Structure 1
Amino acid sequence: MSDSLKYALKKAKIKQLLKTIVISMCVVLIAIVSLYFAGNHFSGKNSSKLKEELFLYNEIAEPNIQIDSQVTTNSSMFGGNIITNRSKNVNGYLVQWNTLTSSYNWLTANIDGNELVTGGLTTSDGKSYEYDKQTKNKAATFYHPSKKYSDKYSTQLRNELDDVSSMNDHVAEVAVSFDQPYTFQEVKEKIPDDLNIAWLYMASPTDDTVRNYGFDPSDSPEKKYNHFIKSLKKYDNDGHDKTIQKFLNKNQTKPFHEVKILGVMLTGKTSNFKPLKNQNFIRGSSVGATAKIVPYITPEK
C-alpha cells in the first residue's frame, strides 16, 4: 500500500472520528435540552396541580382556615416545594395557623398530609382535645349528630360554651354541632345576629376519622353551596370517598334551602356566645382559635 493511500485512509478515519464526535456532542446537547424542557414541563404541570389541590381541599374541608400565600421553593427541573401560609379570621382578628410544606416532582404532587390532621392531647381532667401540631393552638372539634362518643374515642363529646362565655375581652371561634340536621333558614333563626357564621358543617364520616366537609357561606350561601357541590365532585372525581359520594347522592339535586346542615363554625366576641348556653339544639360545642381584643383592631361584630 502506497504512502499516499495510507495517508488518505488515515485522514478519512480522523475525519470520520471527528464527525462521530460532533454528532455525539449534538445528540447529547439535544438530549440535555430536551430533558430540561421536559423536566420543566412535567414539574411545572405538577406544581400547578398541587396548588390547585391545596386550594380545593381548603375550600371543602378546612373550617375557617384561609390561605394567605403560597411560595415555591427549591424549584428545579426535577421538582420543588410549595410553602402554604395559613391563618384564621376570628371576627376580624387574624390568628396564625400552620404552614404546609408540600412537594412535587415529575410524577407526583404530594400535599403535606401530616400537618393537615390535628393532634390529640389528654388534659389533666382526663379529657382530650384537638390541637394544631405547629402552633399548638387548640382546634375546634365538630360532633356528628348520629355518632356515639365515649372514652374509647380520642375526642370526647364536649360543650365549651360556658367556658368561652366567661372569657373577658376576647374574640373566639366555636364549632357548634347540632342535635340533628337543620336547614340554613332554621340555623339562622337559632344563631344570634351578633355572631358570624364562618363555616357550615355539612358532612363527615361516622367512624373516628377526623375529616369534615363544608364551606364558607358568606356573601351568597346558595352560590357558595353550588360551588361546594362542584368542588366535591372535582375533589373526589374517582368516587373513592364514601362520605362525599353519600352526601352527593342525597343532596346534589336539592336546592340549598332543602339541604340539612350538621353544625356551624361561629366567630364573635366571647360575651356574644352567652345566649347559646344550654340550648337544646346544640349537641356539643368546641372552642378553637381565640384572640384578645385590642384598642386598634375593631371586631367585625
Structure 2
Amino acid sequence: MNKEENEFLFDDRQTKKIMRKARFWSTVKMIGITLVVTPIVLIALWYGLRALSLNSAQKVMDDIHLFNEISAPNVQISNQVYDDHLLGGKITTTTYKVLGDQHRPYIWQPIKSDYNLFGTLTRTAISSPIQIEGSESLAETSQFERFNDYTGDREMFFYHPRISYDHYQDNISELHQLEKNTLVEIAISFDDAYDFGEIKSKLPSEVQVDWWWVDAYTDDTLDFFKQGQNTISANDPYIYGFQSEQSKPKPRRSSIDEVATFIRNIELLRKSKNFEWETNQVYQALVGGNGTLEKSDVKISGAVVTGTPEQLQSLQGQTYIKGSIFGVISNQK
C-alpha cells in the first residue's frame, strides 16, 4: 500500500469519527431541547384544556339556569358547583322552592349533570317520583299520588284545559283541614288558556303566584295525552312556564316584563346546543301565524300558588279553576 492509499484510509476513518461525534452531539442537543420544550408544551396544553373546560362549565351552568327559568314549576336555583377535569366534568345544581309572601325557602332536590370538553350536556340525572296507586279506573291512572324521591313531599300535577277529564281533584276545598301556621303549595289548573293580563286580574290580590304554566303543547302532543286523560306532572320534562315576580324576595323594576323575559330565554336557548330540541318544540307550539313568537302568543293554563291556608282560601269557588293539587305542605313557618 502506497503513501497515498494510507492517507486516503486515514482521512476516511477521521471523517467517520467526526461524523459519529457530530451525530452524538446532535442527538444530545435534540434530547436537551425535547426535555426543555416538552414540559412547556404540556403545561401550555394543560392550561389550554383547563381554560376550555372551565369556559364549557360556565356555559353549561348558564344553559341549565336558563332552562330552569322556562320550566321547573316553583323551583329556583340557589347555587351551582362544578367538578371539572380536562375532558369535561360534573355540575351539581342546588334548588329550592318559595313558600308564601315571606319567601320562605324550602330545600328541593339537586340536579346533577355531566358535560364534555366542548360544553355539551352528556347526561342529566332525572329522578322518578314515588307513585302511590289508588283507584284503578282509567280516569285516575294518571292521577296517582306522587311523592318526590329526594324530599318525600307531594308532587303537583296539572289538568290541561283542552283535555276533558272524568275526575278533577279539588285540594283547595281541603285547606280548612290544615293548621293555621302551615305554608302550602298548590298547582291550580284553569278552565281555559288565558292572556297573561286577563288571568292576573282574575286571581284574588291576596294570593301569591310563584309560577305561571304556559300552554306550550302541539296538537299532536295533546292528542296523545287525550287518549289516556293524562295529567301534566310538575316534574315532567315537557312542562313550561315562568317564575312570577311575586316569587322574588326583591322584585325587579316594573319595566321588566315576565312574558317578554320568558320569550327572551326561549330565544337564547334556541341558539344553544343544550336544550335546543326542547326549546324548538316550545317555540313551534307557541309561535303565531306570522312566524314570530310574540307576547300575545303566550297563553296561561295554570299556576303555582303558595301561602297560608287562610291566604289561599279565597280561591275557593273561583269558577275558572278546574282542579287544584297540593304540593309541598310545610309546618315550619
Give TM class, smaller chain.
Answer: 0.7 to 0.9
Counterparts of 1:118 and 1:56 in 2: how far apart (Å)? 23
Question: Is 1:217 the equivalent of 2:248?
Answer: no
Change in Cα spacing, 1:148 to 1:120, as seen in structure 2 (3 Å) is: farther
Q: Which residue in 1 is equivalent to 2:121? A: 110
| CA distance in 2 between partners of 1:86 and 1:13 (Å) | 66
The answer for the alignment partner of 2:47 in structure 1 is 37
CA contact (8 A) 2:70 2:266 kept: yes
Q: CA deviation at 1:249?
A: 2.8
1:285 Cα deviation from its structure 2 partner: 1.1
TM-score by length of 2: 0.75
1:100 to 96, 111, 122: 111
Going from structure 1 to structure 2, the CA distance change for 1:290 and 1:189 (only over 3 Å counts) comes to: same
Does 2:184 correspond to 1:146?
A: no
Write the distance in 2 (CA, Å) between the matches of 1:214 and 1:90.
Answer: 18
1:184 aligned partner: 196
* RMSD of aligned residue pairs (Cα, Å): 2.8
In structure 2, C-alpha distance between the alignment counterparts of 1:252 and 1:4, rounded to whole Å = 86
Q: Give SS of 1:249's match.
A: coil
| CA-to-aligned-CA distance 1:21-56 (integer Å, 9 cap, x gap) | 234335533441342133113212210111111110
Matches within 5 A, 1:4-83: 4-26=14-36, 28-73=38-83, 75-83=84-92
2:207 is aligned to: 195
| Structure 1: gaps (5+ residues) | 151-155, 295-301
Structure number with greater Rg is 2
Residue 6 of structure 2 is matched in structure 1 by: none
Q: The residue matched to 2:98 in structure 1 has which SS?
A: strand
Partner Cα separation in structure 1 for residue 208 and residue 201 of structure 2: 13
Alignment of 1:284 with 2:294, yes or no, is: no
Q: How many residues align?
A: 285
In 1: Cα distance, 2:283 partner to 2:323 partner: 23
Gap change, CA 1:112 and 1:105, over 3 Å in 2: closer
TM-score where L is the length of structure 1: 0.82
CA distance change for structure 1 residues 64 and 141 in 2, over 3 Å: closer, same or farther? same
Q: Which runs of 5+ in 2 are unaligned?
A: 1-8, 137-142, 226-231, 246-250
Secondary structure of 1:146's partner? coil
| Pick aligned residue for 2:98 from 85, 89, 109 | 89
What percentage of residue pairs aligned between the two structures are identical?
24
In the alignment, is residue 159 of structure 1 matched against residue 170 of structure 2? Answer: yes
Is the 2:283–2:293 contact (alpha carbons within 8 Å) kept by the matching residues of 1?
no
2:65 is paired with a residue whose SS is helix
Q: CA deviation at 1:280?
A: 2.3
Alignment partner of 1:132 is 2:166 = no
